[in-house]
Chain A
Amino acid sequence: LPEEIDHNSAETITVSKRKFLDGDHLTLADCNLLPKLHVIRVAAKKYCDFEIPAEFTGVWRYLENAYEREEFKQTCPADIEIEKAYLGGTLSIQLRPICACTEKPNKCLLSSSNQSSSDGSRLGCWSLLMSEARGTRGAPENVSLQVSTSFLVANMLSERGSFMKGMILGGVFCLVLSLLGSFSPITESKTEDHHHHHVKAASKDELQQLSESRLQELNNQLQISCVIMVQPKNLVYWAAALDTWTKHCDKAEFYTSESSKALEAIDLNEKDDWARLHKALKHAYENAGDIRWFFVAQPSTFAIIENLKYLVLTKNPEQPFYLGKTVKSGELEYVELNGGIVLSYEALKRLVNVFQDEDKCPERQSALWKLSEDKQLAVCLKFTGVFAENGEDVHGKGLFNSKSVDSLISESMDQNPNNVVKGCCSDMAITFSSMSPNQMQVMMFGVYRLRPYGHDFHDILTFYPPKGSDND
């Protein structure tokens, strides 16, 4: 390339020094071309008595560089397989090289490091002989099956350790793909006004741009209705939640599976987790009053409502928001219940509407295919065009945690040993989960009472306790 030549010295360079098409490392371009070249070498030689001319030194050098790479050499089907596949003539079978990547589908970069770690970033790059689906006629997929399994077996016989795991994984993946006959990227679902996958809190600059009166207006209108799903078997947690963080909600309603003599709650008389959540959300919506934001939690969740208010302060509840700690399960992205679920009024409204559609959102799941209630919620919301979004602070750190403070700190001690406290969690964290009742009491002390004298946080707003609440 001209640029390449310029970089080098004054002497005229006419030959590329690169090993592969785009540098010294294999890229997607090579994944596309190399298998074809290899097949031409084998099949054309067998059936057309054609060999790639020796004077095509660049092509040979390129092929030789490729044969030096284990990931190419080991994944090429045996010559006999290639010959067999082309036996019926080149018209009925077409070669479609596929690079299966276990991590980033649009990059097929192979690391040449000596690390034998079996992290997902080691990718396999190979070709599969795939049949083009010809109408409804049964495509000769058995060929690709044959080819794939043969080299899978060949791979297993070779020595490569963890690299093999990546290869086998990718092989199975490609196998499934070829059987399904389609290899199209995941289609983007219909978007709404604000289709991101994460929602961030407003930055200080953004807040400062709002007028004093506008800020006050937002503050006055901002109210959270807490929906806490309890059960008598978790009585101690229930009591702790009642005594601690739920006092900071503008409205806190406890929904139980069955009534308890010790504590008061709305008795839904329902053992099934999803049916209970379904009923609780419906009830919360019908009794919302002026409140436009809903927070769903379990008693083992600890929440800092003020930080939740900060996250949604500048967000419009007439837009559908479904926030929390998002997790992907196959194609479904959902918010984990134990990290807390935030729903705007619009999202809840749409949900209550789709509740009427027993096909899309049944009140009772079939016994055969039971999803956890947080996944089921995501499915129902998806039908209404509402998607899960990860709640983050201005720096992109997650605000909703499905683990307790000490396990997050322990993890941070392993991962950022030089910056344990800062690296652990967001300063504006909203939730922690799996906290014991004692730990919740300690948290209340730590978050709301204990403070270092002389430190000023310079917060732009002041959140006062809800009227009539027992919190100071």
Chain B
Amino acid sequence: NLESRTKHVKATWGKHCHKVLYMSSVKTDFPTVELNVSEGRENLYWKTIRALQYIHQHHLDGANWFLKADDDTYVVVENLKYILSKFDPEKPLYMGRRFKPFISQGYMSGGAGYVLSKEALRRFVRGFHTGECTHFSTIEDMALGKCMETMKVEPVDTRDMKGRQTFHPYPLDHYVIRQQRRPRPWHMLYDYYTPIEVSNTN
């Protein structure tokens, strides 16, 4: 996907980050970090674990907040900074689209992208070091959420002042387009904060 996707992330919103790292399972010409993992959805959590460990080892002092996104995610970095500006990176915090199932305090959707504070990253890496966190599942976002709960990292409500979500696991047209009455799609049923669907442009 390097040519078709990652190249475009690099050319567009990637430029607005303080620093961008592209994590890959293989060595490439594109400037990526080669992680010692295999490819595939079952290995996604391993990839994430290795990536976060790598960052902790080499880049911890380079930033206060660490955003994990997929190559099909689009981020308006200025707006992310605006949200993060209200919080302290030395506190163990974790932001994203909060889902309620499986984990009692909830977990952040992988598809929507999530952010770890500096302290949260430290605790994640420590958890794997001490064995408090393990690779107990291949479902990356849920498993990471479990580790966060174990290590006492708090999930944050990132909705705006009108209660509108800022992280979205699906493209724009899923949210903006007026829909016919239909049963709620799975991702809205998963939402920790009850979604409100309004029928006018407000």
Contacts and interface: CB of A to CB of B under 8 A. Distances in A.
A441 interface: yes
A454 B202 contact: no
Nearest to A419: B11
Q: Which of A421, A438, A455 has the most CB of B within 10 A?
A: A438
Interface size class of B (residues with CB under 8 A): 10 to 19
A420 interface: yes
A437 to B, nearest CB: 8
B178 interface: yes
Interface in A438-468: 438-439, 441-442, 444-446, 450, 452-455
B198 interface: no
A452 B177 contact: no
A188 interface: no
A420 B79 CA distance: 23
Interface string B150-193: 00000000000000000000001100111000000000000000
A206 interface: no
A49 interface: no
B173 A438 contact: yes
Interface residues of A, number: 17
B130 interface: no
Contacts of A445: 172, 176
A446 B76 CA distance: 12
A472 interface: yes
Contacts, number: 36
Given A420-B11, A421-B12, A438-B173, A452 B178 contact: no
A247 to B, nearest CB: 9
Contact of B176 (A418, A420, A442): A442
Given A420-B11, A444-B201, A453 B173 contact: no
A441 B81 contact: no
Contacts of A439: 173
Given A421-B12, A472-B202, A452 B76 contact: yes
Interface of B: 11-12, 76-79, 81-82, 172-173, 176-178, 201-202
Given A439-B173, A442-B173, A452-B77, 12 more contacts: A418-B11, A420-B11, A421-B12, A441-B176, A441-B177, A441-B178, A442-B177, A445-B172, A446-B172, A452-B76, A454-B78, A455-B78
Interface of A: 243, 418, 420-421, 438-439, 441-442, 444-446, 450, 452-455, 472
